[in-house]
Structure 1
């Protein structure tokens, strides 16, 4: 279903949110979606996973696709070159400010951890008790796989003195989550978003996927009007709004749909593949009807 009439454009880069967008609800990359992404790469289109996940938490079935060269992680706090494992662009929270934020979060009944140096770092009091914070069972393996259990998050940050890419929070109680969102959103140096119905994500105020997409485009010499972006959540809003072709999922947030040029099918109906075939004019054996 289109929300605006737009013409096909030359697309040279596609930014793809993962959860709720490229991946199905049960976190699978379908064979047809993979086929479409591989066809893009063969035609010279950069395929760019763009996620709130930490770099180490991005599924290998995506990063192992031949020709995927970069990923956006932690909501845009890092753009990583896969061949070297090095960040070509960063936009994190200073480590001293992160310590202050941790203290603020103790006022809420919430799980919290930090993403830094391409990994998630989580205290044992949270890591060992995911049920207490409303983290659904199907998500728990992914949460644990993408985080390293440590005893003292503040001590780790003080020791390493590195920028924090993102602070992630999970809440069992929605009223508590809304209270935290209202109060933390008042802090001018922070951007507070969400990608799940029970979480909040804290980044530097200038950090978002749209900013990372713009900066990688500059590095690669690709203007925004030759970039497509697909997303569903609040943390995809800037990316979808600023791209030359912004795609929202039918299962997405209303704010993302309003910002999009086109609304595609849901993530469980291969909406990403459908949108790419429509706008990139790929030649596949069995195109989506």
Structure 2
């Protein structure tokens, strides 16, 4: 039996148009009606994930910031900040490697970007992130008003892979370092990832991980794919992600999430 399903958002459930397809909506709503618990696991802020959750009728807490924040409208279950002493080190690393850096702070609708915005940051803000406030600062002379929950660097796909190798060589497991999109490198509290957050929620709702399904496409989804019995990658995932999945379904454009959930419901019906 599959009693709990966790779905990644970008490039798994939605694409660049930020729309959930009709088939995916129907599959999620049908699963909820059948008593399967469903939630979203994303690298996004709660504010940008919440509209999707509301439209789909999901009531469980949402996994945000790759597991650094687990919350719903009324309650924060997990909130793990990036250790503040890494901020100057990350700023120096970004400057040395000529890459745009941003910090997410507050609760958590404010992003601080280093001035000036480059083309990669502008594209990201125009097409991906939607927050209530973006502040441009000079990190060499500016102090963040609160401890950040994550840092992010934006570049080309190739440079992001190079930066990831350099960052892991420098900091190792002192931070959770992950590529969330091909051109986005993120730095978070070392105690979290999507896998730890999925395990936490599964325990809260009293569903074993052996009865849990996770669906994703990215490197940051690997921890949750490794954690559950029913691990699913959409076809647009990189080969390294597919290798971590027990099942591979169609790409997000072809409603791979619905395909996986419909299979889960048929699987349950046979039990």
Q: 2 CA distance for matches of 1:53 and 1:260? A: 22
| TM-score (structure 2 length as normaliser) | 0.87
Instruction: Write out aligned runs for 1:81-160 (5 A).
Output: 81-82=72-73, 84=74, 86-116=75-105, 117-123=107-113, 125-126=115-116, 129-131=117-119, 133=120, 136=123, 139-143=124-128, 145-146=130-131, 148-152=133-137, 155=142, 157=144, 159-160=145-146
Aligned length: 263
> 2:157 touches 2:182 (CA, 8 Å); kept in 1?
no
Aligned to 2:189: 204
Aligned to 1:275: 260
Instruction: Write out aligned runs for 1:223-238 (5 A).
Output: 223-238=208-223
Alpha-carbon spacing, 1:233–1:120, altered in 2? closer, same or farther (3 Å): farther
Give unpaired runs (5+ residues) of structure 2.
none
Alpha-carbon spacing, 1:247–1:44, altered in 2? closer, same or farther (3 Å): same
Aligned to 1:60: 51
Q: Does 1:184 align with 2:172?
A: no
- Cα displacement string for residues 46-78 of structure 1 (whole angstroms, at most 9, x for unaligned residues): 211100111112261333332433110111111
| TM-score (structure 1 length as normaliser) | 0.82
Instruction: Say which of 152, 176, 194 aligns to 1:168.
Output: 152
RMSD: 2.4
Alpha-carbon spacing, 1:226–1:98, altered in 2? closer, same or farther (3 Å): farther
Q: What is the deviation of 1:118?
A: 2.5
> 1:80 touches 1:89 (CA, 8 Å); kept in 2?
yes
> 2:16 touches 2:128 (CA, 8 Å); kept in 1?
no
- Cα displacement string for residues 70-104 of structure 1 (whole angstroms, at most 9, x for unaligned residues): 1101111111123x0x3201233122333432332
Q: 2 CA distance for matches of 1:172 and 1:24? A: 19
